[in-house]
Amino acid sequence: MGNRRKFFIHPGYPKTASTTLQKRLFSKHPDLCYLGKPLTGELLDIEIAILNLDAEQFSQALPDLQSRFLSVMARSAASDRNVLLSHEGFLRPTRYEGHDILQTAKRIWQVFCEPIKGEFDCHVLLTIRKQTDIIPSYFFDSISRSPARFRTFIEASLQGPGEGYLASLYYDAVVRRYADLFGRERVKVLPFEQFITRREAFMHELAGYLEIDYDCGIELVGGGAYNIKLRAASGYRITANEALLDLVNRVCPDMEQLPRLLRVPLKRIPLKHRVFSLSAAEQAEIQHLYAGSNKQLSDEFGLELDEYGYF
């Protein structure tokens, strides 16, 4: 490692193995000083301000936010490790009434990087996922488990893809925004599909970028995953009892053992399946919608997204 330490921000996307990386790798690797997620205390206050304040409020709050982040960073001063902050909420546009993720990128630079750029080199890690897969996965996990609402969401979204959640999935524009702020050489993009199908190659790239030991990293991540359910490519298929278990998890997050106790008897009860899926026509429309953006990103950043069906 060079004389200057590095600060890495991993803003997401949601549903791109972020939970796995946070719980298994970032928080446990001895070569990293990990700041979150989960965010607590000062960092939680800073996150809420970045995502929730209007322009005038944010401008007024910025000096205090920078000062508060410096106090967080001061706790890592005794370490010579690189520092990493991971929180997929920064690329979750439905959080706090649809914040602008391009504006959020600038705020991330202002709050986290401007105060420390004299001491740290600031870098970005972005994880992405093919749009035809991430849309149903994101809805299923972050919005609703109702198939009827999913159908309404898809139909409305495809009528105005330049707005709302679908607008956030033009990856080339988002990556270019971070590259403009941080510098092209300080932005790394990794596809979720590589994490799933070529785990070792994914970890080689990630370990090299974060300057951490690969062998330790691959041992920590292993072959498992948190919060990743490989369903049909076009969506999700769950039983009503799975939906019930999910509801119990959400309503009673401190009762982790309860769903396990319920799972066995519930699985013996034949219950109707709920299907969250894109039709063949919708898949084709979404594929066409983002093909140009995905190819542009692939060409500009040397990615092999065509290998995973992005275009």
Residue labelled with tokens 């309860």: 258
Q: What is the mean pLDDT of residues 186-194?
A: 97
How do the domains of the chain map onto residue ranges? 5-234+278-308
How would residue 32 be classed by pLDDT, with cut points 50, 70 and 90? very high
**Joined tokens for residue 196:** 């799933």
- Taking the C-alpha atoms of residue 119 and residue 5, their distance in angstroms, rounded to an integer, is 7
**Which secondary structure element, helix H or strand E, spans residue 70, and what is its range?**
helix 55-74
| Structure-derived torsion over alpha carbons of residues 248, 40, 22, 31, reported in degrees to the nearest 10 | -150
Comparing 275 with 138, which gets the higher pLDDT?
Answer: 138
Q: Is the pLDDT of residue 177 over 70?
A: yes
- State the fold for domain 5-234+278-308: Rossmann fold (3.40.50)
CA 52 to chain centre: 18
Q: Strand 120-128 and strand 187-191: pairing?
A: parallel
Minimum mean pLDDT range among 181-185, 196-200, 251-255:
251-255
Q: What is the mean pLDDT of residues 205-210?
A: 98
**Joined tokens for residue 142:** 């972050």
Distances (CA, A) of 66 to 69, 77, 95, 108, 216: 5, 16, 22, 10, 33
In a 3-state reduction of DSSP, which class is residue 253? coil
Contact, 61 vs 132, CB < 8 A?
no
How would residue 275 be classed by pLDDT, with cut points 50, 70 and 90? low
Q: What is the CA radius of gyration of the chain?
A: 20
**Whole-model pTM?**
0.85
* Region class of 235: left (phi > 0), else alpha (psi between -120 and 50), else beta: left
**Joined tokens for residue 46:** 């800073």
- Taking the C-alpha atoms of residue 271 and residue 279, their distance in angstroms, rounded to an integer, is 24
Residue labelled with tokens 């679908």: 166
Q: What does the pLDDT read at residue 139?
A: 87
Q: What does the pLDDT read at residue 40?
A: 78
* DSSP 8-state symbol, 23: I
Q: What is the mean pLDDT of residues 90-110?
A: 85
* DSSP 8-state symbol, 39: P
Comparing 167 with 271, which gets the higher pLDDT?
Answer: 167
Task: Supply the mean pLDDT for the chain.
Answer: 86
